[in-house]
With several copies, the nearest count.
Chain A
Amino acid sequence: MKVLLFGITREITGQSRINVPEHAGINTVKALKGWLGQQYPALRSLSSLAVAVDSEYAQDEDTLTPEQEIALIPPVSGG
């Protein structure tokens, strides 16, 4: 599973795309957030951190599959 990164999450991780290893067994939004928070503790200090699946905001309980386009969405500040 691949996760796209933007803005401060790209800076925190030093990557614009993270590969989540299959053996990590991540299959929900909540599990993904937990795993990323362990790998990159600085992510936990953000005001908020959402996950998008195929360009839509996802909920913690939503399931994730490798075919989806998954992205981390730190607090937005456009406009």
Chain B
Amino acid sequence: MLIKIVEHIDLNEAYAYLQSPEAGAVNLFVGTVRNHSKGKDVVRLDFEAYDAMAIRQMEHIANEAFDKWPLVKLAIVHAVGAKDPGTPVVVIGVSSAHRDASFEACRFLIDELKKTVPIWKKEFYEDNSVWVNAHP
């Protein structure tokens, strides 16, 4: 599996890793910075990770996905640092013989990543900024 935290997302690197003559299907999810959130204009995002734990937690969800579906390869790459709207911040990719597994595993991985992987996003608007999800 390809699991890492980077400054900049490279979609080609992830795809090249996932490609295999045994796979007939590759599903890729790319999360990008939106220019609006809850009705406000977003001018920038800042991502911060607890690297060692983030890698460990990504490995856990990757192993869960390998247990649940017949996968060929799997990639989870998350970016950190300041990101402008339109920029990719996470790519999750899964290859498998048939497409059911790649779609389902990719969806599972992004859902789980958002729940358990220690990465934090601060949204900057015109006039202020907030750590997303921090308060009820």
Q: Chain A interface (Cβ within 8 Å of chain B)?
A: 4, 6-8, 11, 45-47, 52, 55-57, 69, 71, 73-79
Assembly CA distance A4 to B48 (angstroms): 13
Contact residues, B78-136 vs A (CB, 8 A): 78, 89-90, 110, 113-122, 131-136
Q: Chain B interface (Cβ within 8 Å of chain A)?
A: 31, 47-50, 52-54, 56-57, 78, 89-90, 110, 113-122, 131-136
Assembly CA distance A73 to B114 (angstroms): 13
Q: In the complex the two chains form, is B119's CB within 8 Å of A77's CB?
A: yes
Given contact pairs A4-B50, A47-B136, A74 touches B56 in the complex (Cβ within 8 A): no
Smallest Cβ distance from B134 to chain A, in angstroms? Answer: 5
Closest 5 CB pairs of A and B: A78-B119, A7-B120, A77-B132, A55-B53, A75-B133
Given contact pairs A7-B134, A45-B135, A47-B135, A78 touches B52 in the complex (Cβ within 8 A): no
Which one, B115, B132, B134, contacts A46 given CB within 8 A? B134
With a cutoff of 8 Å between Cβ atoms, the chain A residues found around residue B119 in the complex are 76-79
With a cutoff of 8 Å between Cβ atoms, the chain B residues found around residue A45 in the complex are 135
Assembly CA distance A16 to B136 (angstroms): 23
Q: Which of A6, A11, A76 has the most CB of B within 10 A?
A: A76
With a cutoff of 8 Å between Cβ atoms, the chain A residues found around residue B134 in the complex are 7-8, 46-47, 74-75, 77
Which one, A6, A8, A47, A56, contacts B56 given CB within 8 A? A56
Q: In the complex the two chains form, is A76's CB within 8 Å of B53's CB?
A: no
15 A–B pairs (Cβ distance < 8 Å), ordered by A: A7-B48, A7-B120, A7-B122, A8-B134, A11-B131, A47-B133, A47-B134, A55-B57, A56-B56, A74-B131, A76-B114, A77-B133, A78-B119, A78-B121, A79-B78
Q: In the complex the two chains form, is A8's CB within 8 Å of B120's CB?
A: yes
Q: In the complex the two chains form, is B31's CB within 8 Å of A6's CB?
A: no
Which one, A47, A55, A74, A78, contacts B90 given CB within 8 A? A78
Assembly CA distance A45 to B134 (angstroms): 9
Which one, A8, A47, A71, A75, contacts B50 given CB within 8 A? A71
